[in-house]
Amino acid sequence: MARSGDLHFHRFPQSKSVDAVRWLSPFSAFDRFAAAAVHDPDTASSALEIHSLTVDAANPKSPLLHLCSFWSSPSRISSLRSSQTSHKHLVAAAATLSGSLHLLFVDPVEGSIDSELSIADDHSLHAGPISAVDLQAGGQACVSVGEDGRVNLVTVGEARLDHQRVHDSRGLVSYMAARWASPAEFATGGLGFGVQWWDQRKPGGLVSQFKGNWARGSLTGMVHSIDIHPSRKHICVVGGSSGTVFAWDLRSQQQPILLSGVSLNGTTQPISESEVWEVQYDSYTHSSNINSTSSTRILPIMMCSEDGILAVLEQGEEPIELLAENSAINAFDVDPQNPSDVICGLEWESIGILTRSRETVARY
Amino acid sequence: MPGLASDPGDSLVPFPPDVRDPVVYPVRHGVNAPIFRVYVSWTRGNLLQVACLRPPEADPAGGEEDEVSDEEIGGKIVEVKLGAGDGEISEAQRRRIAYGSVPAFALLQSRKNSLAAMSRMSASSIRTEWWEHVLDYSHHISDLLGNPMLPSSTVIEDPETVMQPHEEPTRLKAAWQLMEIFYVDKLSLTWLPERLVDWLADYDSLLTRTETTIHSKLAGLQKRLVNLQVVEDDPEYWEVMSLALAVGWLDTVVKLLRLHGSYQLDQLGSRETENGLVEAVAVLVSTMPRMRPHLPTGRLGQCYKTKPEFIKAWEKWRGHISKLDSSAFWVQCSHRQTREGLRNLLQIMLGKVSNLTSATCHWMELFISHFLYIRPFTMGLEGFHSLSQKCMQLRPSSSSSGLMCLLIGILGENPEVVLAECSKTFGPWMVVHAMELLTADNGHADILLHEERYNLGDISIEELHRLVYAQVLSSHPLTWQIAPTYLASCPKQGLGLLEILLYKQPVQHYQMILKNLEICRLYELENISSSIMKIAGTYHWKHGRKGSGVYWLQQARDEVRLNKIAQQLFEYIGKSISDDSFKQWEGLIELLGSQVGTAGGLEFLHKYRDFKRSLQQVQDGSSVDAARQTMESLIQLMKNPSTPQRFWLPLLHDSVKLLHWKAQPLLTVSETNLLLNKLQELSMAKLCPDFCEPNLPPEALSSVRLALATNLGRAILEEC
C-alpha cells in the first residue's frame, strides 16, 4: 500500500441518511458550499441541504459545516450533480426514486435556494426510479437514466424543463450511471458491466457499446459510476461491482484497462472486493509517471466503496488508500476548485470532509 | 380529551385504575366522536399504528352531505411512537452511539476469539491481560457517550465562576463509568475511593431528580453570587462551602474562600486576623493529601502513591488542622459567621461524623465524604457495601434512581441486579455492551451470563440480550446493517436470525440489494445471497424490468426461473421474428453472454441472434464460406435441445434462400436428413392441441419441404 500523505478527516453527524454529496463550485474563495441529499426514514422525509464550509483561521485543521438552506424533496434523492450556470447561479440537479427530476438554483453568496424547476413523477420522464443524472457543464442540459431502460435528455429552459427521450429499451436493459463527455456525447452504464456511448448528432443516439466480457461467470456486475476527463474524452473510467474499476478507451474498444478488481488471471490485487459506488478523476494526485501526458495513460482516479475504502488508483501503481472507514462510503466528490478537499457521504449518517495537506504534493 | 390517565372511565379503551404510573401517549387522530372502532397494531420498530374509525354512515351521502363528509373524515390511521426515551438522549444520538460502538465491540469479540484459540495452546498467562483489552474497549465506548469534561483551561478566569460550565452529563455515561471503575480498571484498584470522588464530581447532578444535591445547591449559590455584596454574611455561602468540602471539591472551596470580604484591599487592615484564618484554612484545604497517583489539572491536593507516604502526610496534615482548630486566633476573629463557618470546615476535614452528615444531601455524597475524611483505605466491595448501607440509614432517600440502584447492585456483588438495572434504566444497548465489562474479570458473572439455560431455549443470558439488541437495531432502516455484527456473536440463534433479517430487507432498489448481498458475502452465506437474488430477479421481472430480472436470476444461477422466463420471452420474440424490432432485444441478449449454462433456456436467444446476424451478412454479400457458416449455425440451433419447437419452422423458412444456393449445395446428405426429420416431427406436433402456429405464410411448410428435398437431391449427386 502506498503512502497516503498527511490527511485530516472530519465527520459531521447528520442524524439522517446521507445519500449523495456534491460540492457547489463557488464564485469566490470565501464561500464554499456543498449540497447533500438526506433522507430521514423516521419521518419519511427527504431533502436537499446546502451546507457552507468554513475554516477557522485559528484552527485550519477542523473545518465547520453549517446548514444554510434546505429544500424538501417529494421522494428520496437517488442521484445528485452540480454545476454553474451562466446566470450567476449554482445549480444542483437531483433525481428521485419516484422518477422526478429537480433543478435547484442556489445563490452563490448566501447559499439559499432561489428557484426550482422540476419534472414531476408522472412516469413521463421515467417509470420508476431514476438511477443516475448528469448535468452538463454550464447547467444547460441533463441526461437521466433509469432501471426502466429510458435515456432522457432534459434541456433547461427559461422557466421550465423540456425533455426528450433518446432511447427506450422498455426495461430490457437497465442503466445505472450516466456522464457527459461533451455537449453532444455522453456515456451510460448498467448491468453486466455494460457501457454505452451516445452521440446526440447520430440517428438513434447509440454509437458504440462495451460489454464486460472479460468478467465471466459470477464475476459480472453492475456499473455504478462513470467519469470522463474533459481533456481525454475518449476514455471512460468505470466503477462497479466486486471492487471493479476499469477504463474503456473508445479507440481500442474491446480491451478495457482493469485498474482494480479481480481479473481472469487474478494478477491484480483489488483494493476492495465490494461495490465501488463512485469513481472520479482526482486532479490533486499528480501522476508519478513523467510520461503521463501521453493520452493513452489513465490519470489518477479516486474511488469509494461499500466496505469503507476511499482510495486513489493509478495505472500500474500501488493504490493509495486515503480512508478505511468502518461504514460504507456511499458517495464522494472532489472539490473542483480545491482538489485537495474531498466530501464524503458515509453510511452511518454523517458527512465527512477529507483535507489533504500540501506536503503530499511536495512528495512528487 | 378521551384517554387521559386521570379519568380512566372516560377513555376509549378502559384500563384498570390501579395501574401504577401509566404512560400516556396522546393520539391526535382528529376524528370527531363517536369513534366506532379502534385498531392497534405494531409497525416498524417501536411505532404503534392506531386506526380510529367512525361508524359507517347509515345513509349513503347525498349531494348536501358530500360537503359534510369532506370535513368529517371517516377515520384516520396515526402512528404513535412509544418510549421516546427520557429525553436525555435523542434517537439520533442513540443511533450515533450504536454506530460508534460497533467497531469497538467487533474488535473486542475478535480479540476474544483469537485469545480463546491461543489459550488452547498455552493456558493461563493470557487471562491476566484481558482486562486491558476490555479497558480499551470501555474507553472507546465512554468517549462515544459524551465528551470528557472540559478542564478549566481558560487563561483569564472569572473569580466568581466557582462552577465550570460544561456539557450536561448523561446518566448513560455516568453508569458506564461506574461499571468501568468497579469491573475493569485494575490500574485504579489501589485508589478506588478517589476514583469515586472524581465520579461524583462529574455526575453529582444526576444522583436524584427530585431532591437537592450539593450540585444543585452550588448552582443556586452561583446564580446569587453576582448580587451578593458581603458574601460572608450569607449563611448559604458557608453552607455550600461545607458541602463542597465534604465531597472533596477543593478547588471550589478555595475559590469561594477567596471571595471572602477580608481579602478586599480596603478591609485588609481592619480584618487582618480574620483574613489570616481564612487563608490558613484555604491553604489547608488545598494541601490535603490524596491517596492517588495524579490529579487532573485544576484540582487541588497533594498526591501520594504509596500508603506509608500517604499516612505520614495525612497525620501531619491533620495535626496542622488540630493545631489551627485550637489556636488562640479564633477569639480575635470578630465576625461570627466566619468563625463558625471556618471551624465547621475544620471539623469536616477532621472527619467528624455529625458535621459530615449535616454537610451532605444525598447518601452517596455522605458515602464519598467518609472515604475522604474518615476511611481513606476502604478496600474491597464488602467494605464499600457496609459503608453504603450505613450512609443510607443516615441519609435515607425517598426516591431511588436507576443510577443508585446500579451502584447498590455493584457494591452488593450482585450481577443479576446490575444487569436488570442496565436493562430497565438504560435499555438493550447498555446491557449488551456492559456485559463485556461485567465479565472482564468476574468469574461469577462470567458463569451467570454464559451458562446455557433451558428456560431460554438453551441459549445463554448473554446471547439472549444480544439477540434482543439486534432485533432493536434491525427494526430501524438505518441501523439494520449493524445488527449482523451482534448476531454473529450469538453462537446458537444468531445465524438463523441473521438469515431472517436478510430475507426481510426490501429488494426494490438495487443499492439495497447490493448492500444486503455484501453482508451475505462477509458472513459467507451463499445460499442466502442466491435466494435474495432470486427474490430480486422475480420482483424486477414482474415489474417490467426484464433486464434486471434476468440479470439477478442469472447471478443466482436459477435455471428453473430462467427457463420459465425464456418461454415467456419466446412468445414475444416469436411474434416479431423477422421484424426490425428484434433490435431492441439486443441489449438483453448482450447481457445473457455467449457461454453455456448461465442463462438457462435463454442461451438460445444468443445463438438465435448470431444466426440472424450471419444470415443478414450472407444476404448482403455472398461468399460461400459465410453461407456455409450460417448453415452450420442453423444445424447447431436445430440440434440444440433448448431451441423451442415453435422456432423450427421460422428458422428453416429464413434459410430457404440458402438452401437454393446456386453454386453448390450447402448441406450434406446427413444434415439434410436431420432437418427433414425435424420437419417431420413438426408435422406430427401439429396434431397436438397445444401447438402454436407461427406467424408465417401458409405455404411456408411446403416451400421449406421442397427446398430441403431439392437440396437432398443435389447433395446426393455431389457426394457421388
| Pairwise CA distance, residues A90 & A22, whole Å | 12
Tell me phi and psi for residue B528, to 5 degrees: -65, -45
Q: Higher pLDDT residue, B718 or A77? A: A77
Helix segments in A211-319, DSSP class H: none
| Pairwise CA distance, residues A186 & A197, whole Å | 6
DSSP string, B212-227: --HHHHHHHHHHHHTT
Cell triple for A310: 476511499
Query: Is A346 within 8 Å of A7 (Cβ atoms)?
Result: no
Contact B591 A191 (CB under 8 A): yes
The distance of B529 to chain A (nearest Cα, Å) reads 12
Helix segments in B395-457, DSSP class H: 402-411, 415-421, 427-438, 443-450
Supply the pTM of this predicted model.
0.83
Choice among A18-32, A271-285, B129-143 with the minimum mean pLDDT: A18-32
pLDDT reported for residue B18: 63
**C-alpha distance across the termini of chain A, in Å:** 17
| Pairwise CA distance, residues B684 & B702, whole Å | 15
Contacts of B595 in chain A (CB under 8 A): 216-217
Contacts of A17 in chain B (CB under 8 A): 478
> Is A204's Cβ below 8 Å from some Cβ in B?
no
Query: Is A353 within 8 Å of A341 (Cβ atoms)?
Result: yes
Stretch A167-179: mean pLDDT = 89
Per DSSP, B87 falls in state S
Residues of chain A with pLDDT > 90: what percent?
40
Q: Is the link from the previous residue into A41 a cis peptide, with omega within 30 of 0?
A: no
pLDDT reported for residue B69: 43
Selection from A56, A54, A55, A65 nearest residue A21 by Cα: A65
Per DSSP, A191 falls in state G
Mean pLDDT of chain A: 84
Given CA atoms B84, B88, B94, B96 in this order, what sign does their dihedral have?
positive
Tell me phi and psi for residue B678, to 5 degrees: -60, -40
| Pairwise CA distance, residues B714 & A213, whole Å | 42
Selection from B329, B383, B401, B321 nearest residue B355 by Cα: B321
| Pairwise CA distance, residues A23 & A344, whole Å | 10
Contacts of A192 in chain B (CB under 8 A): 551, 590-591, 593
CA angle B315, B320, B324 (to 5 degrees): 145
pLDDT reported for residue B587: 67
Quick one: pLDDT band at residue B7, thresholds 50, 70, 90?
low
The distance of A168 to chain B (nearest Cα, Å) reads 9
pLDDT tens-digit map of B294-347: 888 878 889 998 889 999 999 999 999 999 988 888 888 888 888 899 999 999
pLDDT reported for residue A232: 86
The distance of B141 to chain A (nearest Cα, Å) reads 15
pLDDT reported for residue B577: 47
Helix H or strand E encompassing A277 = strand A276-281
The residue to which cell 426528450 is assigned: A164
Query: For residue A153, what are the contacts with CB-CB under 8 A and spacing of at least 6?
Result: A141, A142, A143, A163, A164, A165, A166, A200
Selection from B627, B645, B640 nearest residue B683 by Cα: B645
The distance of A109 to chain B (nearest Cα, Å) reads 31
| Pairwise CA distance, residues A11 & B147, whole Å | 15
| Pairwise CA distance, residues A261 & B110, whole Å | 27
Stretch B286-299: mean pLDDT = 87
pLDDT tens-digit map of A50-62: 999 887 767 767 7
Residue type, B594: S
Contact A209 B92 (CB under 8 A): no
**C-alpha distance across the termini of chain B, in Å:** 105
Residues of chain B with pLDDT > 90: what percent?
24
Query: For chain B, which residues lie within 8 Å of any Cβ of chain A, measuring from their own Cβ?
Result: 90-93, 95-96, 99, 102-103, 476-478, 481, 508-510, 514-515, 518, 521, 540, 543-548, 551, 555, 584-585, 587-588, 590-591, 593, 595, 598
Rounded to 10 deg, the angle between the B427-438 and B461-474 helix axes is 150
| Pairwise CA distance, residues A245 & A223, whole Å | 9
> Is A129's Cβ below 8 Å from some Cβ in B?
yes
Helix H or strand E encompassing A152 = strand A150-156
Helix H or strand E encompassing A352 = strand A350-356
| Pairwise CA distance, residues A191 & A224, whole Å | 9
Strand partners, A341: A355
The distance of B623 to chain A (nearest Cα, Å) reads 27
Chain B's closest residue to A129, CA to CA, is B509
pLDDT tens-digit map of B442-466: 778 888 888 888 888 889 999 999 9
Contact A190 B547 (CB under 8 A): yes
Q: Higher pLDDT residue, B17 or B79? A: B79
Rounded to 10 deg, the angle between the B363-373 and B380-394 helix axes is 130
Count of residues making up chain A: 364
pLDDT reported for residue B714: 83
CA angle B368, B372, B373 (to 5 degrees): 120
The answer to whether residue B236 scores a pLDDT higher than 50 is yes
| Pairwise CA distance, residues B534 & B542, whole Å | 12
pLDDT tens-digit map of B481-518: 999 999 999 988 899 999 999 988 888 889 999 999 99
Residue type, B198: D
Q: Is the link from the previous residue into B8 a cis peptide, with omega within 30 of 0?
A: no
Torsion of CA B300, B306, B312, B313, to 10 degrees: -10
Phi/psi-derived region of residue B544, left when phi > 0, alpha when psi is between -120 and 50, beta in every other case: left
| Pairwise CA distance, residues B402 & B399, whole Å | 10
Choice among A46-60, B172-186, B601-615 with the minimum mean pLDDT: B601-615
Q: Give the count of beta carbons closer than 10 Å to the beta carbon of residue B592.
A: 23
Chain A's closest residue to B517, CA to CA, is A274
Stretch B106-135: mean pLDDT = 77
The answer to whether residue A93 scores a pLDDT higher than 60 is yes
Cell triple for B714: 443435389
The residue to which cell 478488481 is assigned: A261
Query: For residue A279, what are the contacts with CB-CB under 8 A and spacing of at least 6?
Result: A225, A226, A227, A237, A238, A239, A245, A301, A302, A303
| Pairwise CA distance, residues B352 & B345, whole Å | 10
pLDDT tens-digit map of B400-447: 788 888 999 999 988 889 998 888 888 889 999 999 999 888 778 888
Highest mean pLDDT among A301-305, B252-256, B271-275: A301-305
The residue to which cell 440458402 is assigned: B658
The distance of A62 to chain B (nearest Cα, Å) reads 17
pLDDT tens-digit map of A9-44: 999 999 899 999 999 877 676 778 999 999 998 778
Strand partners, A190: A175
pLDDT tens-digit map of B672-694: 888 888 888 887 777 776 666 66
The residue to which cell 474497549 is assigned: B137
Chain B's closest residue to A147, CA to CA, is B545
Please state whether beta strands B289-290 and B302-303 pair in parallel, antiparallel, or not at all (unpaired).
parallel
ipTM: 0.91
Inter-CA distances, B297 with A97, B149, B251, B293, B477, Å:
54, 12, 11, 13, 44
Tell me phi and psi for residue B346, to 5 degrees: -65, -40
Chain A's closest residue to B98, CA to CA, is A348
Choice among A162-171, A222-231, A247-256 with the minimum mean pLDDT: A247-256
The answer to whether residue B28 scores a pLDDT higher than 80 is no
